[in-house]
Amino acid sequence: MDKTKVAVVGLGHAANDFHLPCLTRFRDVQVSLCDAWPDRLDESKAKWKIPHRRCFGDLDEMMDKLDPDAVYVTIPQYIWRGRKPSPHPQVVRSVLARGKPIFVEKPLAMNYPDAKALADAAEEAGVGTTQVGYQRRFNPLLREGLKRVYDRGPLLNCSFGFFKGADVYDPETNVIPIPPYDMLTLDMIHCLDLMQSVPKAEIVEFFSTTGRVDGEPELTQFHAMAKFDNGCTSIFTSNMRAGARMLNFQLHGIRISVYITMNPKGSHYSAMTATIFTDDDFQNPQIIRDYQVAPNRSSQACVGFWQENRHFIDCVKSSSRTECDFADALKTNELCEAVLKSS
């Protein structure tokens, strides 16, 4: 079996918790690693048993020696206090300049102009296979719920809620320690992406609003509603001053409603349940757990990381476009900017 050679650049939380657990289990993938921090490189090399010859501290050296088929860029984009600007844009451009298929973690960039510049760079370089890591598009319960709805007709309306509480705040100052970025672009954008992508149509009407707790400098509430040219209405709502971390999705079609919620006692990244009502029968809803419709019972598969990685690799092998390429992800950055302007 010919293996797809994949290089992972940036060995932090996203790479080690979400992507490498999948890529290293794909039998048709050969993984190489790159990180400028020797300790992180050594730790990941040992954890995933990657041979020394496929581990590098310099991107150009790795690209020259290994000539990978595709590259993951999982370098954080945000700037925490006291740290230098992220090298993310330069790394992405360097990979694109070599004409390589590329996967980047969400968002495409931290603002719309930078996102558009990267999308344009990919097009100019002729890189047809790009992907942004909006893994919730691949949530197995969301996919199963949409299938059930479409079996009966069109998707009439949907909503996507994302809520967080004290876990995003500095316990000493009780503020969000992330200047100069906003929490919508940094985090809540996940569900804004679902709002724009799930109806699979073009937006014809859009409304948004934001909010903050009195006396606080940061915006902590973001809400939007969109009407699409296929008749579907989609809603996004979020709040970072809520009582706990929670996700909930709703899908409504012809005499069917799907409610997907996170189990508060479960992991931050798994333990979701779908409750499906049909034909006004409230006494006998169908209950589906995430692991029942996932390809395996790993936490990555139960929330969609396994599926999004598999999708990217398959598109690399077939030289095809992904469901969440740079051009499509740019739409989410555009909506993000529109929501922030409404403040």
User: For the segment 27-55, what is each residue's pLDDT rounded down to a tens digit?
Assistant: 999 999 999 999 999 999 999 999 999 99
Q: Name the band, by pLDDT with cuts 50, 70 and 90, for residue 96.
A: very high
Q: How many CA atoms lie within 13 A of 148 on its CB side?
A: 24
The model carries a pTM of 0.93
Distance CA(309)–CA(284), nearest Å, equals 36
Instruction: Using alpha carbons, select from 162, 188, 319, 150 the residue that is nearest to residue 246.
Output: 162
The pLDDT tens digits for 313-343 are 999 999 999 999 999 999 999 999 999 998 7
Share of the chain above pLDDT 70, in %: 91
* CA terminus-to-terminus distance, the chain: 54
To which residue do tokens 């009780």 refer?
A: 174
| pLDDT number for residue 237 | 98
Cis omega before residue 295 (within 30°)?
A: no
Q: Name the band, by pLDDT with cuts 50, 70 and 90, for residue 77.
A: confident
Q: Is the pLDDT of residue 134 over 90?
A: yes
Angle between helices 112-125 and 88-97 (to 10 degrees): 20
Mean pLDDT of 58-86: 85
Q: Name the band, by pLDDT with cuts 50, 70 and 90, for residue 81.
A: very low
Max CA distance (Å), the chain: 62
To which residue do tokens 């476009």 refer?
A: 321
Share of the chain above pLDDT 90, in %: 80
| Domains in the chain, CATH or no CATH each | 4-133 (3.40.50.720), 136-302+326-341 (3.30.360.10)
Distance CA(52)–CA(55), nearest Å, equals 5
The pLDDT tens digits for 135-189 are 999 999 999 999 999 999 999 999 999 998 755 555 555 555 555 568 899 889 9
Give the containing element (helix H, strand E) for 252: strand 246-253
Indicate the average pLDDT of the chain: 92
Cα 244 to chain centroid, rounded: 21
Mean pLDDT of 186-195: 94
The pLDDT tens digits for 264-294 are 665 545 589 999 999 999 899 999 999 999 9
| pLDDT number for residue 86 | 82
The pLDDT tens digits for 101-124 are 999 999 999 999 999 999 999 999
Q: Name the band, by pLDDT with cuts 50, 70 and 90, for residue 205.
A: very high
| pLDDT number for residue 182 | 82
